[in-house]
Amino acid sequence: MPTHAEDSIVHKIHPAVAVVAGVALLLATSFFFAAAASRLLSARASRSWPETEGFIIESRLSSNSTYCRPVINYRYMVNGQSFVGDDLVAGPQDHYGSHEAQAEIDRYPVGRKVAVFYDPANPSTCCIEPGVFRWEVYLFSLITISCLSSSLLIFWRVFRGRRQ
């Protein structure tokens, strides 16, 4: 007879179900790890990108009602070729609260000169805030650790129970 309530719950779950849940958590771990890594690596790479002068040509809030994102477009030149960029930070773009998005728009009014940082291997890849990664990196990292820990606990409990 189990002495702990959790032991009785574990014995009621079929091992195949636990393994499927563990594999699903490992897949989620892979997704969130990739999301965090891409944001972090993009931010780090942008720190060493060359700089050129640009200017803001559009600054407004997006009209999507699902999320709020500032739409900030800027024009810049690299080796005589004109480009238009729209990324504030390097890598996947973040979502903002309405006040935060408005603050970004206020920082970048139309006509303002800005420093544009671009990838020398692909000058169309650019940003105006190099080296910045937002709270989502921390969130994705925390979720990654949680999913990995949960899946390892599930596998440990299933395979420990099989040896007994």
Write the pLDDT tens digit of every residue in 71-83: 899 999 999 999 9
Does 158 have pLDDT greater than 90?
A: no
Q: Is residue 83 packed enough to be buried (19+ CB in 10 Å), middle (13-18) or exposed (0-12)?
A: middle
Instruction: For residue 161, name the pLDDT band (cuts at 50, 70, 90).
Output: low
Please report where in the chains the tokens 């809030």 appear, as a residue: 61
* Global confidence as pTM: 0.66
Alpha-carbon gap, residue 77 to 53, rounded angstroms: 7
Q: Strand pairing partners for 52? A: 116
- How is the chain split into domains, by residue range? 5-41+138-163, 49-130
Among the ranges given (18-22, 57-61, 134-138, 156-160), the one the predictor scored with the smallest mean pLDDT: 134-138
Q: Which residue has the tokens 């996947």?
A: 92
Distances, alpha carbon 32 to alpha carbons 14, 18, 36, 95, in Å: 27, 21, 6, 16
Sorting pLDDT into bands at 50, 70 and 90, what band is 86? very high
Q: Domain 49-130: give its CATH code.
A: 2.40.50
The mean pLDDT value for 135-154 works out to: 74
Q: pLDDT tens-digit profile of 18-27?
A: 778 777 877 8
- In whole angstroms, what is the distance from residue 110 CA to residue 59 CA? 6
Closest CA to 126 of 153, 87, 161: 87
100-144: per-residue pLDDT in tens?
A: 888 889 999 999 999 999 999 999 999 998 876 666 667 777 777
The pLDDT, as a whole number, for residue 65 is: 59
